[in-house]
Chain A
Amino acid sequence: MGKTTYMRLRGSRHLRQRLVLATLTATPIVVKEIHSDDTFPGLRPHEVSLFRLLEKITDHSLIEFGESGTELLYKPGVLIGGKNLVHDCGLSRSIGYFLEPLILLGLFGKKPLSIRLKGITNDSKDPSVDTFRTTTLHMLRRFGVPLEGLELKIESRGAPPLGGGEVLLRVPIIPNTLTATHWVDEGMVKRIRGITFSTRVSPQIGNRMVYAVRGVFNNFIPDVHIFTDHRSGPAGGRSPGYGMSLVAETTTGCLISADIASTEKADEMDEDTEEKPEVKTPEDIGIEVASILLGEIKQGGVVDSTHQGLLFLLCALCPPDVSKVRVGALTPYGIETLRNIRDFLGVKFVIKPDTSTNTVILKCVGSGMKNIARKIS
Chain B
Amino acid sequence: SKWKESLIARTLMRQNGNLMQLVYGQSLSNSAAASQKERESSESDESEDGNFFIPKGQREKMADEKFDDNDINAEDCSKFKTKLRKWSDENLISSIRDRFVTGDWSKAAQRGKLANDGE
Task: Determine the distance from Cα of A229 to Cα of B117 in the docked complex, in whole angstroms.
Answer: 45
Set of chain B residues within 8 Å of A290, measured between Cβ atoms: 87
Q: Which residue of A lies closest to B60 (CB)?
A: A272
| Distance in Å: Cβ of B38 to nearest Cβ of chain A | 12
Q: Which residue of chain B lies nearest to A11 when distances are taken between CB atoms in the complex?
A: B72
**Is B95 an interface residue, CB under 8 A from the partner?**
yes
Chain A contacts for B60, CB-based, 8 A: 272
Task: Select the residue from B108, B111, B116 with max chain A CB neighbours within 10 A.
Answer: B111
Contact present for A127 and B73 (CB under 8 Å): no
List CB contacts (< 8 Å) of B45-99 with chain A.
56, 59-60, 69, 71-74, 76-80, 82, 84-88, 93, 95-99
Nearest-CB residue, chain B, relative to A47: B76
A306 touches B79 (CB 8 A): yes
Contact between B77 and A126, CB atoms less than 8 A apart: yes
Contact with B along A116-136 (1 / 0, CB 8 A): 000000000111000000000
A252 to B48: give the CA distance in the assembly, Å: 61
Distance between B118 CB and nearest chain A CB, rounded to angstroms: 6
A35, A308, A309, A356: which contacts B114 (Cβ < 8 A)? A356
Q: Which of A34, A97, A294, A350 contacts B73 (CB 8 A)?
A: A34
Minimum CB–CB distance for B102 against chain A, Å: 5
CA of A355 to CA of B5 in the docked complex: distance in angstroms? 13
Q: What is the distance, in angstroms, from A280's C-beta to the closest C-beta of chain B?
A: 12
Interface of A is mostly: mixed
Q: A188–B100 contact, CB under 8 A?
A: yes
A residues 190-228 touching B (CB-CB < 8 Å): 190, 216, 219-222
A355 to B17, CA, bound (A): 12
The yes or no answer to B33 lying at the interface (CB within 8 A) is no
Q: Are B12 and A306 in contact (CB under 8 A)?
A: no
Known: A126-B77, A338-B24. A13 touches B84 (CB 8 A): no
**Given A13-B72, A219-B93, A298-B96, CB of A332 within 8 Å of CB of B15:** no
**Smallest CB–CB gap between B20 and chain A, Å?**
5
Contacts of A67 in B (CB 8 A): none
What separation, in Å, do the CA atoms of A357 and B56 have in the docked complex? 43
**B7 contacts across to A, CB distance below 8 A:** none
Instruction: Give residues 241-273 of A contacting B (CB, 8 Å).
Output: 251, 272
List B contacts of A126 (CB < 8 A).
Answer: 77-79
Interchain nearest-CB distance for B100 vs A (Å): 5
What's the minimum C-beta distance from B52 to chain A, rounded to whole angstroms?
13
B78 touching A348, Cβ below 8 Å: no
Contact of B84 among A35, A291, A333, A359 (CB under 8 A): A291
Partner of B112, one of A15, A185, A291, A339: A185
Question: Interface readout for A150-168 with B: 1 if CB under 8 Å, 0 if not?
Answer: 0000000000000000000
For chain A residues 309-367, which have a beta carbon within 8 Å of chain B? 309-310, 326, 330-333, 335, 338-339, 342, 348-357, 359-361
Are B78 and A189 in contact, CB atoms less than 8 angstroms apart? no
- Residue A295, interface by CB 8 Å: yes
- Residue B34 interfacial (CB < 8 Å): no
Q: How far is the CA of A189 from the CA of B72 in the complex (A)?
A: 38
Report chain A residues within 8 Å CB of B23.
330, 335, 338-339, 349, 351
Q: Is the CB of B101 within 8 A of A297?
A: no
Query: Do A333 and B72 touch (CB < 8 A)?
Result: no
Residues of A within 8 Å of B103, CB to CB, are 188
| Residues of chain B contacted by A357 (CB below 8 angstroms) | 111, 114-115
A24 CB → nearest B CB, Å: 18
**B42 at interface (Cβ–Cβ under 8 A)?**
no
Q: A15-B76, A100-B78, A360-B19 are in contact. Are A272 and B114 (CB under 8 A)?
A: no
**Nearest-Cβ distance from residue A329 to partner chain B, whole angstroms:** 9
- Which 4 interchain pairs have the tightest Cβ spacing? A11-B72, A331-B80, A305-B80, A356-B114
6 A–B contacts, CB within 8 A, in A order: A38-B73, A220-B97, A294-B85, A305-B82, A351-B20, A353-B19
Q: Which residue numbers of A lie inside 8 Å of B, CB to CB? A: 10-17, 33-38, 97, 100, 125-127, 184-186, 188-190, 216, 219-222, 251, 272, 288, 290-292, 294-295, 297-298, 300, 305-310, 326, 330-333, 335, 338-339, 342, 348-357, 359-361
